């Protein structure tokens, strides 16, 4: 993702790449030169990134997946000092799907069963995907259900970047809300939209739905 974001930045007239950080490099120098920090690294680097962004007061866009409860708490603590956009999926379409799924869940009510189906490439290890869990949690919250009771179906095949479908079913009808990714560039596009949006925002923890001004 780092290379995809760098390419996307270089393709935009209003953006410039202040620097790229690799473990062992001078993160402080990169952060101090930037108006906003975009992090798609790994959970092992998250605390170092949070320390650097809070020390400099630089806004952060974080798309790191697999954060545990301690790191999520650290992310929230950093957001008390600087504006942070954190989301497990930076796709604009997924943010819209999340909003629509929540509205559908509230409107349809408990008379409909819900399943979240996802398909990814064969090299993806985690199942369900972070995005599927995010969609399930959104629907459960909208219905007042226990997120742990959500039903997920995961399929790994080929080189599929990511397909997600939320299915509402009653004895009489079925509603399918879906999103498909054809290239990972969509995540870079979303990250850059978030980067533009977060500059100048007050400290706080935001998500892509905030960037797009969507209801949940």
Note the helical H segments in the chain: 2-10, 27-32, 43-56, 69-78, 92-108, 130-143, 185-198, 208-211
Instruction: Answer positive or negative: Cα dihedral of 197, 198, 204, 207.
Output: positive
3-state secondary structure of 192: helix
Of the candidates 117, 120, 164, 179, the residue annotated as catalytic is 120
- Sheet containing strand 151-156, edge to edge, reads 151-156, 113-120, 162-169, 174-181
H-helix or E-strand spanning residue 62: strand 60-62
179 is catalytic: no
134 is catalytic: no
Q: Are 118 and 132 in contact (CB under 8 A)?
A: yes
Q: What are phi and psi of 137, to 5 degrees?
A: -65, -40
Of the candidates 117, 121, 124, 164, the residue annotated as catalytic is 124
Instruction: Answer positive or negative: Cα dihedral of 98, 103, 108, 110.
Output: positive
Distance of alpha carbon 14 from its chain centroid, rounded?
23
Catalytically annotated residues: 120, 124
């Amino acid at each position: 993702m780092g290379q995809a974001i760098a390419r996307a930045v270089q393709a935009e007239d209003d953006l410039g790449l202040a620097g790229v950080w690799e473990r062992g490099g001078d993160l402080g120098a990169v952060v101090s030169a930037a108006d906003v920090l975009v992090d798609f690294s790994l959970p092992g680097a998250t605390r170092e990134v949070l320390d650097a962004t809070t020390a400099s007061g630089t806004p952060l866009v974080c798309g790191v997946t697999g954060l545990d409860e301690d790191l999520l708490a650290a992310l929230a603590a950093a957001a008390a000092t600087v504006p942070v956009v954190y989301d497990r999926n930076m796709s604009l379409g997924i943010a819209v799907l999340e909003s629509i799924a929540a509205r559908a869940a509230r409107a349809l009510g408990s008379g409909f069963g819900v399943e979240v189906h996802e398909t990814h490439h064969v090299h993806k290890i985690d199942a369900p995907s972070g995005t599927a869990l995010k969609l399930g949690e959104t629907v459960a919250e909208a219905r007042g259900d226990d997120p742990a009771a959500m039903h997920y179906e995961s399929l790994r095949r080929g080189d599929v970047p990511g397909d997600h479908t939320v299915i509402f079913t009653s004895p009489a009808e079925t509603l399918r809300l879906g999103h498909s990714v054809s290239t990972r560039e969509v995540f870079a596009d979303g990250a850059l939209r978030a980067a533009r949006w977060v500059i100048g925002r007050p400290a706080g923890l935001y998500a892509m739905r905030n960037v797009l001004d969507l209801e949940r």
